[in-house]
C-alpha cells in the first residue's frame, strides 16, 4: 500500500477528505479513495485524550513518505505548539486553520509553515464571516473553506433540506475569494454518508453558487463530489463548438439561436482549461 496520495495542488482540489488523525489504519483508505486532497484532522474529529496519539500517527505517516493536509487546533488550544511543530514537516501539503477570524491568527500559523504549503482558513463563525475579506487578503492564504455546521451552531441557524438559509453566507465566501484573487472556495460536508442523491444535489448546488470543491467525511463521497465539480462531456463538447465557431468572428455572434459574446467565450475557455470542472 502506497503512503503517498495521488493528489493535486490543494488550491485546485475538488474533493477534500477528512480523516481522524488518531485512526492511522484509515490513512491508506483515504489515499486510495480518489480524493484530490486528504486532510488529517487534529481538531474536532479527535478527542482531547487522543490528540497526542494522533500527532504521533501523523508524524509517522509523513516520515514514511506520506503527503496530506493537516487541520490543526486553534491558537488558543493548549497543544497548539505541538500541532504547529508538525506543520514544518515534509509531506505537509496544506494547513487548515479552524474558526479563522483574523489575519493575526493566520500570520502566526504561516510563520511555522514551509514555503509553498497551502494555508486554508475555515470560516465557521459570525466574526470569521464578518471579516472574511481581511482573512482572504492575508498573505499566504490559498483558499477559503466553509465550515457550515459550526457556523450554523454559532448563529443559531436551522437550515431546511435545501439550505436556502445559507445562500447569502455562501455567496459572501465566493465574493471574497474572487475579490482577493483566491481560487473558488470549498463547501462544507454532507453528514449523511449513505444518501448519494443528497450529496450530489448539495455538491451541484455549491458549484452553481461558485464553489470549486467540497469537504468529505467518508471515502464513499469522493467520486460523487469529483463528478459534481468536473465538466461533463456535454459541457466540453459545447465549449469546443463555441470556440470553433468563434474563429474568424469579429465580435458577438449567434450559435444555435443563442448569442455568444465575451462572457460566453470566457466560460468556454475556462471549461476547456479545466478551471471549472
Residue 117 predicted with pLDDT over 50: yes
> What is residue 223's predicted lDDT score, i.e. its pLDDT?
96
Domain 10-228, classified CATH 3.30.360.10, yes or no = no
Q: What is the mean pLDDT of residues 14-33?
A: 96
The string of pLDDT tens digits covering residues 139-157 is 999 999 999 999 999 999 9
> What is residue 253's predicted lDDT score, i.e. its pLDDT?
76
> What is residue 98's predicted lDDT score, i.e. its pLDDT?
97
Q: Poorest-confidence range of 163-167, 181-185, 262-266?
A: 262-266
> What is residue 8's predicted lDDT score, i.e. its pLDDT?
67
Helix (H) / strand (E) containing 60: helix 51-63
Nearest in space to 230 (alpha carbons), one of 34, 46, 76? 34
Q: Are 121 and 135 in contact (CB under 8 A)?
A: yes
In this structure, what C-alpha cell is assigned to residue 58?
A: 501523523
Q: What is the dihedral of CA 175, 180, 186, 187, to 10 degrees?
A: -30
Residue 33 predicted with pLDDT over 80: yes
Q: What is the mean pLDDT of residues 126-149?
A: 97
Which string of b and e fits 75-94 if b means at least 16 CB within 10 Å?
Answer: bebebbeebbebbeeebbbb
> What is residue 7's predicted lDDT score, i.e. its pLDDT?
53
Separation between Cα atoms, residue 178 and residue 257, nearest integer Å: 31
> What is residue 52's predicted lDDT score, i.e. its pLDDT?
96
Q: Poorest-confidence range of 56-65, 185-194, 253-262?
A: 253-262
Q: Which residues pair with 187 in a beta bridge?
A: 214
Query: If DSSP codes are grouped into helix, strand and coil, which group holds residue 220?
Result: helix
Residue 4 predicted with pLDDT over 60: no
Residues of the chain with CATH 3.20.20.60: 10-228
Please indicate whether residue 125 or residue 116 has the higher confidence score (pLDDT): 125
The string of pLDDT tens digits covering residues 62-94 is 999 999 999 999 999 998 999 999 999 999 999
Q: What percent of the chain has pLDDT over 70?
A: 94
Residue 247 predicted with pLDDT over 80: yes
Q: What is the mean pLDDT of residues 233-237?
A: 72
Separation between Cα atoms, residue 211 and residue 244, nearest integer Å: 28
- Rounded to the nearest integer, the mean pLDDT of the chain is 90
> What is residue 14's predicted lDDT score, i.e. its pLDDT?
96
Q: What percent of the chain has pLDDT over 90?
A: 75
> What is residue 5's predicted lDDT score, i.e. its pLDDT?
38
Q: Are 213 and 186 in contact (CB under 8 A)?
A: yes
Q: What is the dihedral of CA 171, 175, 178, 181, to 10 degrees?
A: -120
Distances (CA, A) of 218 to 11, 24, 236: 21, 15, 29
Place of cell 470549498: 186
The string of pLDDT tens digits covering residues 191-204 is 999 999 999 999 99
Q: What is the mean pLDDT of residues 5-14?
A: 75
Amino acid at each position: 500500500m502506497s503512503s503517498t496520495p495521488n493528489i493535486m495542488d490543494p488550491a485546485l482540489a475538488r474533493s477534500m477528505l477528512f480523516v481522524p488523525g488518531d485512526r492511522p489504519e484509515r490513512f491508506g483508505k483515504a489515499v486510495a479513495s480518489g480524493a484530490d486532497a486528504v486532510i488529517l484532522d487534529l481538531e474536532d474529529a479527535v478527542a482531547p485524550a487522543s490528540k497526542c496519539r494522533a500527532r504521533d500517527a501523523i508524524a509517522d505517516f509523513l516520515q514514511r513518505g506520506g503527503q496530506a493536509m493537516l487541520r490543526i487546533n486553534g491558537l488558543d488550544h493548549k497543544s497548539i505548539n505541538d500541532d504547529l511543530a508538525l506543520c514544518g514537516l515534509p509531506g505537509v501539503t496544506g494547513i487548515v486553520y479552524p474558526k479563522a477570524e483574523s489575519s493575526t491568527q493566520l500570520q502566526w500559523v504561516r510563520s511555522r509553515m514551509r514555503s509553498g504549503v497551502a494555508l486554508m482558513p475555515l470560516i465557521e463563525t459570525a466574526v470569521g464571516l464578518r471579516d472574511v475579506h481581511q482573512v482572504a487578503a492575508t498573505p499566504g492564504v490559498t483558499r477559503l473553506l466553509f465550515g457550515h455546521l459550526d457556523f450554523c451552531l454559532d448563529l443559531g441557524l436551522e437550515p431546511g433540506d435545501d439550505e436556502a438559509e445559507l445562500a447569502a453566507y455562501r455567496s459572501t465566501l465566493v465574493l471574497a475569494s474572487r475579490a482577493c484573487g483566491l481560487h473558488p472556495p470549498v463547501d462544507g460536508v454532507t453528514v449523511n454518508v449513505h444518501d448519494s442523491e443528497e450529496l450530489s444535489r448539495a455538491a451541484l448546488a455549491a458549484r452553481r453558487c461558485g464553489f470549486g470543491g467540497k469537504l468529505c467525511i467518508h471515502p464513499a463521497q469522493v467520486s460523487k463530489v469529483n463528478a459534481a465539480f468536473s465538466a461533463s462531456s456535454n459541457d466540453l463538447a459545447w465549449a469546443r463548438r463555441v470556440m470553433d465557431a468563434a474563429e474568424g468572428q469579429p465580435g458577438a455572434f449567434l450559435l444555435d439561436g443563442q448569442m455568444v459574446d465575451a462572457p460566453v467565450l470566457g466560460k468556454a475557455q475556462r471549461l476547456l482549461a479545466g478551471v471549472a470542472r
